[in-house]
Amino acid sequence: MTRHHNFCAGPAALPTPVLERAREEMLDYRGHGLSVMEMSHRSPTFEAIAARAERDLRDLLAIPDDYSVLFMQGGASLQFACVPLNLLGPGGTPNYLDTGIWSTKAIKEAEHLAGAHLAASSRDAGYARVPGREAVQLSADAAYLHYCHNETIGGLAYDYVPEVEVPLVCDMSSSILSGPLDVSRYGVIYAGAQKNIGPAGITVVIVRNDLLDRALATAPTLLTYKAFADHGSMLNTPPTYAWYLAGLVFDWLKNDIGGLDAMAAINRRKAATLYDAIDASDFYANPIAPANRSRMNVPFTLADDALNGVFLDEAEAAGLLNLKGHRSVGGMRASLYNAVTQQAVDALVDFMGDFEKRHG
């Protein structure tokens, strides 16, 4: 069996130890005689799996007791609607920061429901940096401020946390668990799983309990945070196997990696390795302001776009997979999520150097 280096933006690489453990438990989960994907979500066995996953996530992120942890479905895209549905009950206008494609999608969804105020945008800067702190201007009736911490497609990340008097809402789909996080600064954090949490199919939502009663009266029950909190995220049949695998990832981060400080150090080294190689070259380029470069998603271009296809073909032949940039921006993109090893990044940098020598 050969495992190649997977730089996919999502669904993304999973830690090899997690996959190996899932393989061991696939047919017979710890002597129970069936697979996790076959057992009832109401069974004591699965309830223990779910409780352990939540406990480990709370430990990793030091989530305060006055926050609920929800395991929902629909990915971050469904949360674009869930956020206004759950926070606009008392009235007010949704406020948003615009830094790229994913924040734009969230804004459009809010506009469908209640309109939206653009508190700041870096569109005029080509989304090459985030708006400065001083640029953030809330509406007088702001209900909350939403932003995307890390724009997966553009490779743009915030280097600060906005300071506002209204609930702060953050899409952390592509950066959660990549390092320590002060949850107490946020009202709502949400993240699609298929980057650093686990496989596609489950979404983690962390919501401060005092916000659970702010949903619109017309909000569908299955889209309300309070209903999920009241039912332990089992309002309907959850994606049980994805939940189980997420729990294995949390365990790996705690016990194999040593927590999020250790994970952050690993991620800093990986990102520095790739960015240093790009910056030292006249053949490769990254368009993002250094202060806002993402550690999770590194887009880069070649000096000659005509070589893009050759680069991708040769990279795949070398076991370096999923390096094609998003269709909206082109070029290349290497996603360096937690499960991507330093060895994988070193192999990519070696390949890039060799390719430049042969084609530069």
Residues marked as catalytic: 102, 171, 195
Integer CA distances (angstroms), 290 to 124, 155, 287, in order: 18, 11, 9
168 touches 187 (CB < 8 A): yes
Q: Could you give the dihedral angle defined by the CA atoms of residues 282, 287, 291 and 293, in that order, rounded to the nearest 10 degrees? A: -100
Terminal-to-terminal C-alpha distance of the chain = 34
Tokens of 354: 């060799």
- What would the DSSP string read from start to end of 139-198? -TTEEEEEEESEETTTTEE-SS----SS-EEEE-TTTTTSS---GGG-SEEEEESTTTTS
279 touches 257 (CB < 8 A): no
What does the alpha-carbon distance between residue 106 and residue 104 come to, in Å, rounded to a whole number? 5
What does the alpha-carbon distance between residue 301 and residue 48 come to, in Å, rounded to a whole number? 47
Residue 153: CB atoms within 10 Å: 19
In degrees and rounded to multiples of 5, residue 77 shows phi and psi of -60, -35
Q: Put the strands of the sheet holding 297-302 in their side by side order.
A: 284-285, 297-302, 332-335
- What would the DSSP string read from start to end of 212-266? TT---TTS-GGG-HHHHHHTTT-SS---HHHHHHHHHHHHIIIIII-SHHHHHHH
Tokens 């870096």 — which residue? 122
Q: Write out the H or E segment, with its range, that includes residue 119.
A: strand 117-121
